[in-house]
């Protein structure tokens, strides 16, 4: 590598390749269909609500708080690794070349989120406020600028304070940014600019404080490891991530569930599989997350067809992933020493998955009770899960 810019470029290309490798499993066909229907249903309900929203609805303060909080979360993406604590020490005087690239990527990878949220709120602003188009888009530019300030601010704070009490820094920035946006939405742009200047001064203080300080490699490396581990855990819900090992929790408060498996020699595998499902974070949270998403859609989307399609797609995703996860255990288990039939474990997995999907169907059905023919949602979940369990390997 000729310089630190080349180091960043090499790591960035590896990072993009790693993300793309797993994203192709996350955004599969059925997930894309669900997203299309959810966005369409959400957009339809949003437009219908705008027709009846009251003019005294506090849109400015709500939008300012939401956007301000989103702006405050600007965790830097540095792509640093543990060996950098040694090998980059001779180049520490030129480390700014590396961090400038890292912060540029951090900004462009995060700014679109807050931009989309603000753009979605524009119809609400036009419905309940007297802001002109120029005023609204001026505040949009202010939001884009504040995001850049936030990225620089969180990085400098983490650099100077070694990441200690970062939540205090985020709270301060969230309040300042929300105030600036609130003033902008009230057409008080001069005051909004003043608040923005105050946030810049706040950042300059920590930048000067970090001058001459050694790079906090340990903090940034840990931050990067946690960020990638979060991505791998999310990807593991859709495909197997080889180097990810899920944690095990006792969950003694759920021991009463094991009573649903009758005591007996024939139920040994069923008990073991059921206990594996309850105690393994990857398996349990996979079911819990997809069930929660399906329940929320059933509770808040008033279009029955969309609810049925979403519930069916999520039922398919839950069944196939849970079945594969419970069957893929390749480690040695004590039950392998006992003369049990070869099909004992697959049969036990099928029974446990069926029990989990019946529970999901009941929860989603209860959340859909306000809709006409809500029982169809329960039927869809049960039928899709049963067909998936029988057809999948």
HEC profile of 193-261: HHHHHHHHHHHHHHHHHHCCCCCCHHHHHHHHHHHHHHHHHHHHCCCCCCCCCCCECCCHHHHHHHHHC
Give 71's pLDDT tier (boundaries 50, 70, 90).
very high
What is the residue extent of each domain of the chain?
52-233, 252-391
Q: Mean pLDDT across the stretch 68-85? A: 92
- pLDDT of amino acid 99: 93
What proportion of the chain, given as a percentage, has pLDDT over 90?
38
Query: What does the pLDDT look like over 306-358, one tens digit per residue?
Result: 888 888 888 988 888 888 878 876 555 555 556 666 677 788 888 888 888 99
**For 338, which DSSP code?**
S
Q: What average pLDDT does the chain have?
A: 85
Number of residues that make up the chain: 393
Residue 201's pLDDT is 94
**370 or 329, which is more confident:** 370
pLDDT score at 383: 92
> Where is pLDDT greater, at 7 or 238?
7
Kindly state the tokens that stand for 65.
Answer: 């708080």
Q: How far is CA 243 from the centre of its chain?
A: 20
- Rounded CA-CA distance 220/106 in Å is 14
**Which of 9-13, 20-24, 229-233, 270-274 reaches the highest mean pLDDT?**
9-13
Q: CA neighbours within 13 Å on the CB side: how many for 362?
A: 6
Mean pLDDT, residues 235-251 taken together: 67
Longest distance between any two alpha carbons in the chain, whole Å: 80
Q: What is the pLDDT of residue 329?
A: 60
Per the CB < 8 A criterion, the answer to whether 318 and 381 are in contact is: no
Place of tokens 């996350």: 26
Mean pLDDT value across residues 204-213: 88
Its pTM stands at 0.73
Q: Residue 147 and residue 177: Cα distance in Å, rounded?
A: 9
């Amino acid at each position: 590598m000729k310089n630190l810019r080349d180091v960043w470029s090499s790591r960035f290309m590896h990072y993009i390749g790693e993300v793309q490798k797993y994203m192709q499993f996350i955004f599969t066909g059925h997930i894309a269909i669900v997203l299309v229907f959810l966005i369409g249903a959400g957009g339809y309900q949003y437009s219908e609500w705008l027709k009846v929203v009251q003019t005294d609805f506090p849109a400015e303060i709500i939008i300012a708080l939401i956007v301000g909080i989103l702006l405050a979360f600007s965790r830097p993406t540095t792509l640093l690794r543990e060996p950098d604590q040694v090998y980059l020490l001779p180049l520490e005087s030129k480390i700014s070349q590396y961090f400038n690239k890292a912060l540029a990527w951090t900004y462009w990878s995060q700014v679109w989120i807050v931009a989309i949220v603000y753009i979605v709120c524009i119809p609400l602003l036009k419905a309940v406020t007297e802001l002109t188009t120029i005023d609204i888009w001026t505040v949009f530019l202010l939001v884009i600028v504040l995001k850049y300030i936030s990225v620089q601010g969180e990085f400098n704070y983490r650099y100077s304070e070694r990441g200690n009490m970062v939540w205090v820094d985020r709270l301060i920035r969230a309040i300042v940014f929300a105030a600036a946006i609130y003033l902008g939405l009230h057409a008080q742009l001069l005051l909004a600019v003043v608040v923005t200047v105050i946030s810049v001064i706040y950042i300059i203080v920590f930048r000067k404080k970090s001058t001459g300080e050694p790079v906090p490699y340990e903090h940034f490396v840990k931050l990067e490891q946690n960020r990638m581990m979060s991505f791998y855990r999310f990807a593991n819900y859709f495909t197997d991530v080889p180097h990810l090992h899920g944690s095990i929790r006792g969950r003694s408060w759920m021991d009463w569930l094991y009573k649903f498996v009758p005591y007996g020699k024939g139920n040994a595998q069923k008990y073991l599989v059921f206990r594996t499902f309850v105690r393994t974070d990857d398996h349990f949270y996979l079911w819990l997350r997809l069930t929660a998403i399906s329940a929320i859609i059933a509770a808040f989307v008033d279009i029955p067809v969309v609810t049925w399609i979403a519930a069916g797609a999520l039922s398919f995703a839950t069944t196939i992933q849970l079945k594969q996860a419970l069957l893929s255990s390749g480690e040695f288990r004590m039950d392998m020493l006992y003369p049990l039939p070869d099909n004992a474990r697959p049969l036990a997995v099928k029974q446990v998955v069926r029990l989990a999907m019946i529970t999901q169907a009941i929860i989603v059905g209860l959340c859909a009770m306000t809709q006409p023919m809500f029982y169809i949602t329960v039927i869809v979940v049960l039928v899709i899960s049963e067909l998936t369990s029988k057809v999948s390997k």
